[in-house]
Amino acid sequence: MEEGAMVEQRAEEPVVQVELVHPSKFVAWMKPKRYKVAYGGRGSGKSWTVAQLLLVSALQRRRRIVCAREIQASLRESLIHLLAAQIERLGLGAWFAVSQTQIKCVNGSEFVFAGLRSNVDSIKSMEGIDIAWVEEAQNVSARSWEVLIPTVRKEGSEIWVTFNPDLPEQDTYQRFVATMSEDVHLVQINWDDNPHFPAVLDAERRKMQRSNPALYAHIWEGGFLADGDKQIWHEGHFAYYEHLPPLVRVEIVVDTAAETRASSDYSVFTVMGVDGAGRLYVLDCVYGKWVIQDLVAQAYAVWDQYALGVDEGVEAAVALPWADINVPAALMAIEDASSGKQLCQVLESDGVVTVARIVRGRRSGLGLSGRGDGAQQETRKWKRSSQAQLHMDSVDEPIYLPHDAQWLAEFKRQMLSIQRLHCGSEAGLAERGTWDIPDTVADGVWRLKIARVQAGVSLYAGM
């Protein structure tokens, strides 16, 4: 809305006038359109503006509005606080009731909040959605869009999208920006479009512009993340295969959680192998949230599927500089901590699975021992992601991935989360605890291409 614009309800609704001062690029936003997309850099005011326009829409007539992110581990990570702040800012407390789980308007409009990735079934069952707002949509996978879009099927319904782009190949950018469509109202907006842009942010912006122009272009001007030292995921690290060659060694790298809460980490089984020429392959990645009994069953299932299919000619590995004759053709490497320790004990007791325990020490680089507050945990995560970068860069040829695997989208999403953390992005910090697949891949790179390890011996013994 332009400065000074007034919005008033229809006569049959409670009468209230709301004065909105928004970036001029949002003037046409309230005109009907199936998709309304605002993208750009930090400080543009797009999230505040969309939140306020949703409140106005809810006042105009009874609507059901879904506010979603790709990841919403708890309501504390939802958009409810942003909307509640705008209700107070606009003086609309008399017309909206804010509870811990939802927001309701006196005319019957309601706001509900959801995480797309972990609530597929509940999203599918939602009825009567008038507007779906997807915030931080650069993280949204193709699968999540394929679930959400047909769910928002009421006549005249709309999908509102806000995001800061990371890479051009991300599904959200390709779906709404790169591919032009008449049913999309597109707004590109940055800090200099925001009439409320504060002086404190302007000082931060100018400081970054001087110190790191490439990062400035991404954070403040809405450009893509640049290739370079801080980009962990880039095509130079990976190639794709359609047919897997004979392998001389396979390892199943495991990171466990053994909890099923929405906020819990995943347990991950990443299957990696190496061929006679020393090329490294990722065969599969199985991830989910399981209690310890189901985790054990999953370990046996993955072992049966992959460990028994190793090429008989394992002797060929002896001539390779990184090989060790004492390393079995197949083993399962499990972090020796918490639920991982329990898994090791169960598998070692029956002798079916060959187990190698990963013990992380102070000098391992892939993880730091001990507990701490949130800031300390973030420091450990950052150091771990830095080590993953070193491991990726130490490989002189690509790591080969299956070209059509369903888990690739999640792997890329997690790698981008690490990248955003390196770049100081708030989204990277918000996604802590969701780097389980890159963790296992980094461990596999270390074990198969860098370290000389033996079954049953600590990965970092003697470091």
Last residue of a domain, which of 173, 198, 223?
198
193 and 291 together in one domain: no
Q: What CATH number does the domain containing 279 carry? A: 3.30.420
Nearest to 205, CA basis, from 191, 186, 189 = 191
Residue 214 belongs to some domain of the structure:
no
* pLDDT value, residue 434: 63
- 239-258 pLDDT tens trace: 888 888 888 788 899 999 86
Nearest to 104, CA basis, from 48, 52, 135, 62 = 62
* pLDDT range class, residue 159, cuts 50, 70, 90: very high
328 and 262 together in one domain: yes
143 and 252 together in one domain: no
* pLDDT value, residue 423: 53
438-440-441-443 Cα dihedral, nearest 10 degrees:
120
Last residue of a domain, which of 151, 180, 198?
198
Residue 308 belongs to some domain of the structure:
yes
What's the total number of domains in the chain?
2
Residue 178 belongs to some domain of the structure:
yes
Residue 46 has pLDDT above 90, yes or no: yes
242 and 178 together in one domain: no
Residue 67 belongs to some domain of the structure:
yes
Q: Would you tell me how many other CB atoms lie within 10 Å of the CB of residue 341? A: 13
Residue 213 belongs to some domain of the structure:
no
172 and 282 together in one domain: no
* pLDDT value, residue 22: 76
Q: Would you tell me how many other CB atoms lie within 10 Å of the CB of residue 2? A: 12
Residue appearing with tokens 């991935």: 401
* pLDDT value, residue 8: 44
Least confident of 172-176, 239-243, 374-378, 410-414: 374-378
Dihedral angle sign, alpha carbons of residues 160, 145, 239, 367: positive
Strand partners, 332: 252, 355
192 and 287 together in one domain: no
383 and 287 together in one domain: yes
* pLDDT value, residue 327: 52
State which residues form the domain around 177.
Answer: 5-198
Residue 207 belongs to some domain of the structure:
no
125 and 270 together in one domain: no
Residue 122 belongs to some domain of the structure:
yes
Residue appearing with tokens 């991950």: 268
CA distances from 74 to 5, 79, 350, 416 (A): 36, 11, 39, 22
* pLDDT range class, residue 145, cuts 50, 70, 90: very high
282 and 423 together in one domain: yes
Q: Mean pLDDT over all residues of the chain?
A: 77
* pLDDT range class, residue 167, cuts 50, 70, 90: confident
In angstroms, the CA 403 to CA 243 distance is 10
- 74-116 pLDDT tens trace: 665 578 999 999 999 999 999 999 998 899 999 999 999 988 8
Considering all CA atoms of the chain, what is the largest pairwise distance in Å, rounded to the nearest integer? 84
In angstroms, the CA 7 to CA 57 distance is 10
Residue with the larger pLDDT of the pair 18 and 402: 402
* pLDDT range class, residue 422, cuts 50, 70, 90: low
Residue 288 belongs to some domain of the structure:
yes
* pLDDT value, residue 297: 94
Residue appearing with tokens 């302007």: 202
- What's the average model confidence in pLDDT over 415-442? 63
* pLDDT value, residue 365: 33
Residue with the larger pLDDT of the pair 428 and 147: 147
280 and 414 together in one domain: yes
- What's the average model confidence in pLDDT over 322-343? 73
* pLDDT range class, residue 347, cuts 50, 70, 90: very high
In angstroms, the CA 221 to CA 43 distance is 10
Q: What CATH number does the domain containing 115 carry? A: 3.40.50.300
Strand partners, 113: 67
CA distances from 2 to 7, 22, 193, 315 (A): 11, 6, 12, 74
* pLDDT range class, residue 219, cuts 50, 70, 90: confident
Last residue of a domain, which of 198, 215, 249?
198
Residue with the larger pLDDT of the pair 157 and 388: 157
* pLDDT value, residue 232: 52
* pLDDT range class, residue 319, cuts 50, 70, 90: very low
* pLDDT value, residue 12: 47
166 and 241 together in one domain: no
* pLDDT range class, residue 174, cuts 50, 70, 90: very high
193 and 250 together in one domain: no
* pLDDT value, residue 311: 46
* pLDDT value, residue 15: 60
In angstroms, the CA 69 to CA 71 distance is 5
